Amino acid sequence: MSAIDARDVVKTFRAGWMRRRVTHALRGVTLRVPRGAIFGLLGPNGAGKTTLLSILATLLTPDRGTVTVLGHDVVRDATVLRHRLNMATGNASFLWSLRAEEIVAFYARLYGLYGRRLSQRVDDLIELCELGAYRRVLYNELSTGIKQRLALAKSLVNDPELLFLDEPTLGLDPDVSVRVRRRIGDLRRERGMTIVLTTHYMREAEELCDEIAFIKGGLILAGGTAAELKRQIAIGDVIVFRLDPPTAAWIAELPGVLRYAESDGRVECVVDDADKRLPALLEALHAEGVVVRDVRVSEPELEEVFVELAR
């Protein structure tokens, strides 16, 4: 059963004088997210990622299309659904004069927690998100990284079945990002949570996500696992040679070679399929008397897929 089943979702924003400025944020998005998966939404700025996430989290209503989340319609059953999901945003903001523990407790109370259960939940989340040293610090005195962890703690107050993370590591130091990513992975593993996240960081998506959808201009252009996306986009495999003599520009003319480049004494070839083309390349180099000192084959980075799709 899917955690999310969205079909032909359309969302248009109107602004300005007589509401004449029109932004087509989503133009017919169809998306399925399996239960228990970590699902990534990738795309350039203004692609519609946050709009889609907000619709799925009941913060926005779609203009057209149907959206079923955890078996409930996001418009009709929004209140029921809100008990079972939550969200954390990368640039989250909370009341400036409340302490970290008070913020967590405030949101926990909105889900009906009180008494010992409330104190226990607050303690657990403070510990889980490593906020112990900051629990009595006012929000406006916290650093960006701590605020981000607090946002994550807040998003877990109702122990949600479905968690939305909008740019969860935005602006964080690399070491903090690594810890946040690890925490996200743990949440899925330990609690079986379905997680939908948006990110600009390809490495984050590749490391965390079971499936990825690439969204641009309000449309999903491609979807699947990171490996499937790379295959779908067909930007080829990369073969890196160290040759003696160090150049062999003529191999750019061989069948299946899409790109040829030289840098730092290495030759880099992008071919349509490394398994198929490598033996022929080696044979051709040998026939021309070129000595192959080293050869490495790699898949393209997800970043290259992103660049290709965003183009």
Which residues here bind other proteins, judged by CB under 8 A? Answer: 13-14, 50-51, 54, 57-61, 79-80, 82-83, 85-87, 89, 91-98, 102, 106-107, 109-114, 138, 154, 158
- Report in angstroms how near the CB of residue 112 gets to other proteins at its nearest: 4
Instruction: Give whichever of 73 and 288 is closer to other proteins, judged by the CB atom.
Output: 73
Instruction: Give whichever of 89 and 177 is closer to other proteins, judged by the CB atom.
Output: 89
Token representation of residue 103: 């913020």
How many C-beta atoms surround the C-beta of residue 161 within 10 A?
18
- Report in angstroms how near the CB of residue 262 gets to other proteins at its nearest: 47
DSSP, res 141: G
Q: Where are the beta strands (DSSP E) in the chain?
A: 2-15, 21-34, 38-42, 64-69, 72-73, 85-89, 162-166, 194-199, 211-216, 219-224, 237-244, 257-263, 266-271, 291-298
- Report in angstroms how near the CB of residue 96 gets to other proteins at its nearest: 6
CA count, 13 A, side-chain hemisphere, 104: 31
- Report in angstroms how near the CB of residue 42 gets to other proteins at its nearest: 20
Instruction: Give whichever of 155 and 177 is closer to other proteins, judged by the CB atom.
Output: 155
- Report in angstroms how near the CB of residue 21 gets to other proteins at its nearest: 12
107: amino acid identity, one letter = Y
Smallest Cα–Cα separation from 126: which of 94, 99, 161, 90? 99
Alpha helical stretches, state H, 111-201: 115-128, 144-154, 174-191
Instruction: Give whichever of 96 and 287 is closer to other proteins, judged by the CB atom.
Output: 96
Instruction: Give whichever of 14 and 259 is closer to other proteins, judged by the CB atom.
Output: 14
Under 8 Å CB-to-CB from 140, ≥6 apart: which residues? 96, 97
Bridge partners of 14, per DSSP, are 22
Smallest Cα–Cα separation from 52: which of 185, 191, 263, 197? 197
- Report in angstroms how near the CB of residue 85 gets to other proteins at its nearest: 8
Under 8 Å CB-to-CB from 236, ≥6 apart: which residues? 258, 259, 270, 271, 272, 273, 300
Instruction: Give whichever of 58 and 177 is closer to other proteins, judged by the CB atom.
Output: 58
Instruction: Give whichever of 24 and 242 is closer to other proteins, judged by the CB atom.
Output: 24
Q: CA Rg, the chain, in Å? A: 24
- Element containing residue 234 per DSSP (H, E): none
- Report in angstroms how near the CB of residue 57 gets to other proteins at its nearest: 6
Bridge partners of 238, per DSSP, are 270, 298
- Report in angstroms how near the CB of residue 81 gets to other proteins at its nearest: 8
Instruction: Give whichever of 128 and 138 is closer to other proteins, judged by the CB atom.
Output: 138
